[in-house]
Amino acid sequence: MTDSEPGTRLGAHRSRLFGGWAFYLYASTAIVIGVLALVPLRNDDLRSAPPAVHSYDDALRLVALQQAADDSVAVREARSILLTHGSRASRAAILLHGVTNSPRQFRPFAERLYAEGYNVYVPRLPHHGERTGGAKNIERMTAEELRDLGDASVDIGLGLGDSVIVVGLSAGGTMAAWIAQQRDIERAVVIAPALELAAVPSALSQPLIGLAVRAPDVTRREAPDPDARDREPGWTTRGIAQMLRLGAAVRDASREHRPAAHSVVFLLNASDRTVKARPVLELAARWAARGTPVRVYEFPDSLRLAHDVIDPRERGSDTAAVYPVLDALVNRSAPPLWMHVVPVGKP
């Protein structure tokens, strides 16, 4: 036996010891991740509360309370928008903006509808446009908050007009789809709803939502634009997961119940690389099979539109093409002939 043999044996023992600990550490981590990802989230409680009946004055008071709450935390440009003609109108429009944006995203289109006689309300999504914190604030957003905002906005809309039309983009589109499923409104125009992300395989979508909701948040901040203080560039895994969770609740409910909305229009974008079209088409087919009038249109790829087709500040925006289409869909008119009509198949 040489003098080095005891040291060699000790080194081998330590290697086995640390290797064993590493194995148990990795195995435990894998189990924890598996539990976080695979244990189903409860979405059956994401239903509408009994609708409140509001007068026009009640609606104004509730919007004033929301705007006061906005003013306490958000930049001025991110304040909820209310455009009214001084009394209850025949039609009210609720416009729901996308994640990391603000009501300002919809202001030009809101003014267009206002000029057509609508009373218009554009609420600020929870934790958006705040003066400090940036995209990290959206980590605190929950599906329950989005549900509550959707409910409250429709209640306000019922005070603003005899019939209510809801329009939403992306996260706002997911909210509009939830409202269409849950609330008795005249029409929902659902634009590129975030039901699944384009970059995530469908088989992994639900496990990753479960993981992101339960695991520590990961936030990516991007440099803010000093001319767009209401926007919060970046993303947060937990906030995105909560948005997708609301979409999962809509899809779950659609398997059992007919939507409450009188009619629904989906508006997709062939150039969209952010969200998937397939789950939207499946939802449209399921609703149509239950007897709800459903139409699906798609902006052609030749327009090269970004996911955010609404905000004129978006790079490559073409609101001269988009707004007339959206205006036609809100007003139950035929869109331009160059728009693609997507057949609604069987669920």
3-state secondary structure at position 26: helix
Query: Taking each helix axis from N to C terminus, what angle separates 171-182 and 237-254, rounded to the nearest 10 degrees?
Result: 30
Per-residue confidence (pLDDT) for residue 287, from 0 to 100: 97
For range 142-147, the mean pLDDT: 96
How far apart are the C-alpha atoms of 133 and 128, rounded to whole Å? Answer: 10
pLDDT tens-place string over residues 159-209: 999 999 999 999 999 999 999 999 999 999 999 999 999 989 998 888 888
How far apart are the C-alpha atoms of 60 and 159, rounded to whole Å? Answer: 8
How far apart are the C-alpha atoms of 322 and 45, rounded to whole Å? Answer: 36
For range 229-251, the mean pLDDT: 93
For range 324-339, the mean pLDDT: 96
How far apart are the C-alpha atoms of 221 and 165, rounded to whole Å? Answer: 34
How far apart are the C-alpha atoms of 323 and 230, rounded to whole Å? Answer: 22
How far apart are the C-alpha atoms of 26 and 145, rounded to whole Å? Answer: 36
pLDDT tens-place string over residues 251-297: 999 999 999 999 999 999 999 999 999 999 999 999 999 999 999 99
Per-residue confidence (pLDDT) for residue 7, from 0 to 100: 54
For range 128-132, the mean pLDDT: 94
pLDDT level of residue 42 (50, 70, 90 thresholds):
low
pTM of the complete model: 0.88
Other beta carbons less than 10 A from residue 197's beta carbon: 17
Which of 7-16, 66-75, 237-246 is least confident?
7-16
- Phi/psi for 55 (5° steps) reads -85, 175
Q: Name residue 164's amino acid.
A: V
Per-residue confidence (pLDDT) for residue 6, from 0 to 100: 52
CA 103-333-181 angle, to 5 degrees, is 55
How far apart are the C-alpha atoms of 277 and 312, rounded to whole Å? Answer: 23
Handedness of CA 188, 191, 340, 205 (dihedral sign): negative
In this structure, are residues 234 and 135 in contact, taking their beta carbons and an 8 Å threshold? Answer: yes
How far apart are the C-alpha atoms of 300 and 245, rounded to whole Å? Answer: 29
Q: Which of 231, 240, 261 is nearest to 107 (CA)?
A: 231
How would you classify the pairing of strands 119-122 and 89-96?
parallel
Domains, the chain, in order of start with CATH, read: 49-341 (3.40.50.1820)
